[in-house]
Amino acid sequence: MAANERVATLTLNRPDALNALNAALLRDLDAAVSRIEDDDDIHVVILTGAGRAFAAGADIGEMLAYNAVEGKKFGAYGNSVFYRLENLNKPVIAAVNGFALGGGCELAMACDIRLASEKAKFGQPEVGLGITPGFGGTQRLPRLIGSPASMELLLTGRVIGAEEALRLGLVNAVYSPDELLAKAAGLAKTIAAQPQVAVRQIKQCVRKGAQVDLSTAIAFEAEAFGVCFSTEDQKDSMAAFLEKRKIDSFKNK
Ligand code: COA
């Protein structure tokens, strides 16, 4: 993990296996999420992969001999790590530099914003290995791009390029490989410079709201809105607007 200007960059670093997610890499990711959660100096996270992959899926070598109990346990562990990342108290940007297949695509989908390199490839090829996606793919893909397009991708295992992912709404933007990390850093810096109480409340509203009915979700939003009025940043920013002055930096409280 590297941290700079309140932005932590996490790099999946198992390039010889295209960052395939084995139990050890999942544990490392889990530990990194815990460290970031507790570090108030980190406002935004960028997640990327070393080499030519973001992550080429769960580790097939590790899974080959699993029985039903072990398979279920591995899926539950991966899901718990991705769920923690998705609900981390700070925004996470996936900078998808290459293959994001299977668990790699599922990991990118657990992030809040996805930026892709022109070289990125997305897909859920599990069906061709005789399994279902196991780290949330059958649930997050339809929530992001809708059911018909998801069904096709999930049932065929077809791998798509960055432009198609953009058209489907799976990624927010596509950049050249050289630009990708700088663009992610720029976006992260912009978010990191906002008042962080509001940033965190917004993320929580979107995340929690997506899981409940609209009236419950609106109640979350009302709570979050109220919380913001207890911050100095709200008072300072609104006063500055009315006095036609700019605020240099926020207090994040
Ligand atoms: N699990 C374990 N190892 C993996 C892996 C995975 N999901 N994906 C890639 N690797 C390993 C390969 O076995 C190979 O290891 P080796 O050099 O020891 O033989 C190395 O990463 C490089 O992969 P390789 O297949 O040689 O690269 P490629 O450029 O020819 O193909 C992919 C790249 C991504 C198309 C191909 O590796 C692939 O299809 N991977 C599996 C994708 C998948 O089905 N993911 C879902 C898993 S549930």
- Rounded to the nearest angstrom, the distance between the alpha carbon of 201 and the centre of ligand 1 is 39
**Alpha-carbon span 43 to 55, nearest angstrom:** 24
Structural domains counted in the chain: 2
Judge if 123 and 220 occupy the same domain: no
- Please name the residue whose Cα sits nearest to atom 42 of ligand 1: 56
- Rounded to the nearest angstrom, the distance between the alpha carbon of 212 and the centre of ligand 1 is 37
* pLDDT at site 2: 78
User: Which of these three, 150, 174, 192, is where a domain ends?
Assistant: 192
Judge if 39 and 138 occupy the same domain: yes
- Please name the residue whose Cα sits nearest to atom 20 of ligand 1: 17
2-18 pLDDT tens trace: 777 799 999 999 999 99
* pLDDT at site 1: 74
Domain of 227 in residue numbering reads as: 196-242
* pLDDT at site 5: 79
User: Which of these three, 154, 175, 192, is where a domain ends?
Assistant: 192
Judge if 14 and 55 occupy the same domain: yes
Nearest atom, ligand 1, residue 60 CA: 1
User: Which of these three, 192, 207, 231, is where a domain ends?
Assistant: 192
Indicate which residue of 5, 106, 163, 164 is catalytic.
106
Q: Which residue positions in the chain have pLDDT lower than 70?
A: none
Judge if 51 and 107 occupy the same domain: yes
Cβ contact 127:102 at 8 Å: no
Task: Label the pairing between strands 44-49 and 7-12.
Answer: parallel
- Rounded to the nearest angstrom, the distance between the alpha carbon of 56 and the centre of ligand 1 is 6
- Rounded to the nearest angstrom, the distance between the alpha carbon of 20 and the centre of ligand 1 is 8
112, part of any domain = yes
Judge if 10 and 38 occupy the same domain: yes
Asked about 126 being catalytic, the answer comes back as: yes
Nearest to 134 by CA among 11, 12, 21: 21
Tell me which of 14, 60, 82 to substitute to probe ligand 1's pocket, judged by most ligand atoms within 8 Å of the beta carbon.
60
| Tokens at 188, concatenated | 């992260």
**Alpha-carbon span 112 to 44, nearest angstrom:** 10
Asked about 152 being catalytic, the answer comes back as: no
250, part of any domain = no
| Tokens at 222, concatenated | 């009302």
Task: Find out whether the beta carbon of 49 lies less than 6 Å from any atom of ligand 1.
Answer: no
